[in-house]
Structure 1
Amino acid sequence: MTVIVDQRNAAIDFVLPPDREAAAPPEARGLERDEVRLLVSDAGTVEHSVFRDLPRFLRPGDLLVVNDSATMSAAVDGRLDDDPVVLHVATWLDDGRWVVEVRSTDGKPGPWATLHRGSAVDLPGGVAARLTQPWLPPAERLWTAQISGTADVRSWLARYGRPITYAYVRERWPARYYRTAFGRRLGSAEMPSAARPFTDRLVTDLVVAGVGLAPITLHTGVSSP
C-alpha cells in the first residue's frame, strides 16, 4: 500500500498485517456497530475513542451530512465462455447500460485479457450481460454492458445477487451486514461504509443533543482492488 504524505508526492510504503484487514464485521468479534474505534483530531490534539461517543465531540446546532444510499446485492455468479466468473454490477447509465466488472471466482481481478466487445456473461434467471466497450479507456477493468432478460436489474440482483466482497473477506456475510442506518435509496454497488457505525440509538442520541441531520444520496460504484 502506498500513501501520499505531501504535495511533493513523497510516499511511504507499508505492509498491512493480515490480522488488521477488515475480514469480518465487528459483530463477529462480539462488538456492536458503534463500538468500533474513532480517531478524533481537533485543534492539533488527537484522541482515541469509540464511535458511540460521537455526540460528545459535537455541539448543539452542528450539522451532520449523511448518505441515504442503500447497498445493492451487486455480485452475481455467471459464466463467460463456459468459465465461472463473478460479475460486479456497479453504476446505471442514462442510456440504460450498466458499468460492470468481471472478476474471477476467488475474488481477484480478471480475466481482463479475455474480455472484448461483445463478450457475454450468462447469468441466473435467463439474464445476460453483453459487454459493449471499456468504461473510461484505456483502462480495461470496468466495462459498459447491456443487461438483457430482466426489466428491473435491481430487483433481479435482490433475488440472485449478494453483497460485493473481495479476497480478504473469507466468509460470506448476509446482506444485513452491509446495510446502514440511513440507507433508503437502493443504488450503491458497495456499502457507503462511512455510515456503517451508526445505530438507531446513536442517531437518537445525536438528535437529542441538538445535532442536525441532512441526508444526501451518493451511490457508490466499485472501488476496491
Structure 2
Amino acid sequence: MRVELFDFELPPERIALRPVVPRDSARLLLVDGERMADHHVRDLPSLLRPGDMLVFNDTRVIPAQLEGRRGDARIGATLHKREGPREWRAFVRNARRVRDGDRIDFGHGAAAIASDRSEDGSLLLCFEGDEPVELLLERAGRMPLPPYIAGKRAADERDASDYQTMFAREKGAVAAPTAALHFTPGLLAALQGDGIASETLTLHVGAGTFLPVKAEDTDEHRMHAEWGRINAPAAARINAARASGGRVIAVGTTVLRLLESAADEAGDVQAFEGDTSIFITPGYRFRTVSGLLTNFHLPRSTLFMLVSALMGRERMQAAYSHAIASGYRFYSYGDASLLLPA
C-alpha cells in the first residue's frame, strides 16, 4: 500500500510534552465498531466485560541516551537493541565522524568501541571494562525521551518516573510502552474487582519504533527487530481467557505485536523468546488479539498502519480527525484510544 494513504495533518500544539496527573485521568476515545465516544481512562471498568483480559508489557526503560566524544568530535548515541553482554546496537548522532574501531568516551567511566555499521545507519557499541553495562548507563546515561518531546525540552527528574509504567520490571527498553503509562494501582484494582483479568509479557522496545517510514510503499519498508518473551504459564492463562469467551485486549502496540508473533494459526499463544520484526498493515488477519488500548500515533508511521489494520484505514482517519478536533493530546505523554473491531 502507498505510505501516503496513512498521512494526516497534526497541529503541533496537540503533541503532549507532559503526562496528565493522575495518570488515569487521561482522555480515552472509544472506537467500538462504527461507534465513537469520548471517555477517560478511569472509565475502563465500564467499557470492558467480565472475563476480558488486559495484557501489559513489563519492560523497564533504561537510561539509554548517551553523550560522548571521539577526540574533539561530540558524539550522541541512543541505544537500540542489546546484542550481547556488553554489546548494544545504537543510532549515533554525528556518525560520519566515527569509524570502525574508534573509541567513544561517554564520561563517568563509560566508554565503548564502535564497529559494524549496518544498513539502517546504526553502529555496534562494545562497552569497555568488566562493570555491568547497566551500572555504566545509570551513571552516564539519561532517559531517552522520544524525539518529538526531546526536540522541545530536555529530559529532567520528572521523566525518570513519568516515563516508566507501573508494570516496569524487566530492564531493557529504550522507549516506554506508553499505553500502560495511564494505569494506576487503583484502576487496576477496580478492573480486577469487575472480573477483568490482567497478564504481563516482556518486549524491549527499541529506538527503531521512532524511525520514519522512508519507503513510498509499505512492501518496501524493513521493520526493526525487538526482543520479547512470553513464558508458558502466561501463554496458558491468555489461552484460557480466550477459551472461556473473554476478549484479549493488548495494552499497547508492543503487546499486540508480540502476541501475534507468538500465536499459531488457531490463535493459541505459544511460549516465545526471541526477536520479532512483525509488520502489521491492512489486510493482516489478527489471530489472538480482540482489541487494543493505545495512544495516538504519528502520521505515516508503522503504528498508525497497525491500528488501521485492526480497525480499517478510513475508520482510523475519522477517529484521528475527531481526536484532533476535540483537543485530544497525542503521542507518548498524550491521551489514549480503546479500539474494539466489530
Q: Which residue number in structure 1 is paired with residue 143 of structure 2?
A: 163
TM-score (norm 2): 0.56
Q: Name the structure where helix makes up a greater proportion of residues.
A: 2
> Which letter does structure 1 place at the counterpart of 2:83?
L
Which range is displaced more, 210-219 or 158-167? 158-167
Stretches of structure 2 that go unaligned for 5 or more consecutive residues are 212-342
Question: Is 1:214 the counterpart of 2:208 in the alignment?
Answer: no
| Contact 1:63 1:213 (C-alpha < 8 Å) held by counterparts | yes
Relative distance call for 1:207 and 1:171 in structure 2 (3 A) is: same
In the alignment of these two chains, the number of paired residues is 205
Give the conservation status (yes or no) of the 8 Å contact 2:29–2:38. Answer: yes
Q: Kindly indicate which of the two structures has a greater share of residues assigned to strand.
A: 1
Out of 29, 33, 42, the position equivalent to 1:43 is 33
> Given the two structures, how large is their TM-score scaled by the length of structure 1?
0.82
Tell me the residue number matched to 2:176: 191
Does structure 1 conserve the Cα–Cα contact (< 8 Å) formed by 2:165 and 2:183? Answer: yes
Q: What do you get for the CA RMSD once the two structures are aligned?
A: 2.0
Cα displacement (A) at 1:96: 4.1
Q: CA offset at residue 115 of structure 1?
A: 3.0
Matches within 5 A, 1:1-225: 7=1, 11=5, 13-22=7-16, 24-27=17-20, 31-94=21-84, 96-103=86-93, 111-135=94-118, 137=119, 139-140=120-121, 142-165=122-145, 166=147, 167-174=150-157, 175-222=160-207, 223-225=209-211
Contact 1:21 1:168 in 2 (8 A): no
Distance 1:8 1:162, change over 3 A: closer
Task: Decide whether aligned partners of structure 1 residues 11 and 195 sit closer, same or farther in structure 2, where only a CA change above 3 A counts.
Answer: same
Structure 1: runs of 5 or more not aligned: 1-6, 104-110
CA distance in structure 1 between the partners assigned to 2:5 and 2:39 by the alignment: 28
Q: Percent identity?
A: 32
Q: Is the 8 A contact 1:127 1:150 kept in 2?
A: no
* 177 and 81 in structure 1: CA distance in 2 versus 1, 3 angstrom threshold: same
